[in-house]
Amino acid sequence: MTNQTITRASIVKIASDKTGLSKHLSSQMFETMLDMIISELCDEQSVKLSTFGSFIVRRKKQRMGRNPKTGIDAVINARKVISFRPSHILRMHTNISTANSSNNKSKTSRERTVQTRA
């Protein structure tokens, strides 16, 4: 159950059902909304969604790293990344309900991550 992944299709469907807008229009609006958020972040502006959290652009400096597969030293270029700061409300919610479900208790966060990426 916890492995279930939600995609834009299911979000658009629910939004369409609840607002009464057509699927097509809902889907268009959804893409416009995401594009707006993306272009704002590309301009290095932060995006705040109250009760959910905020997206902030951070500049990472160039540093030395290593290819994890080969072990060879490599330069990691300066780059920009998005960091997501969840709101306290969201933190509270994720903590309560996932702590109650014993599904993943035996797994470490690392194992969970590997699993979701696979």
Partner 1 sequence: MNKSDIISNLARAYTQVSNEVIEKFVNIFVQQLADAMSKGKRVELRGFGAFSVRRRDSRVGRNPRTGAQVEVGQKHVPFFRMGKPLQQRMNAKTH
The site for partner 1 (CB under 8 A) is made up of 2-8, 10-11, 14-15, 18-21, 25-26, 29-30, 32-34, 36-38, 40-42, 45-53, 55, 57, 77-84, 86, 89-91, 93-99, 101, 103-104, 107-109, 112-113, 116
In the beta sheet, which residues pair with residue 65?
Answer: 74
Please say whether the dihedral angle defined by the alpha carbons of residues 103, 105, 111 and 112, taken in this order, is positive or negative: positive
Q: Which is nearer to partner 1, 70 or 108 (CB)?
A: 108
Q: Which helix (H) or strand (E) holds 48?
A: strand 47-49
What type of residue sits at position 110? R
Residue 60 beta carbon to partner 1: minimum distance, rounded to whole angstroms = 10
Residue 29 beta carbon to partner 1: minimum distance, rounded to whole angstroms = 6
The dihedrals phi and psi of 13, each to the nearest 5 degrees, come to: -60, -50
Residue 69 beta carbon to partner 1: minimum distance, rounded to whole angstroms = 18
- In degrees, to the nearest 5, what angle opens at C-alpha 65 toward C-alphas 111 and 86? 50
Residue 49 beta carbon to partner 1: minimum distance, rounded to whole angstroms = 5
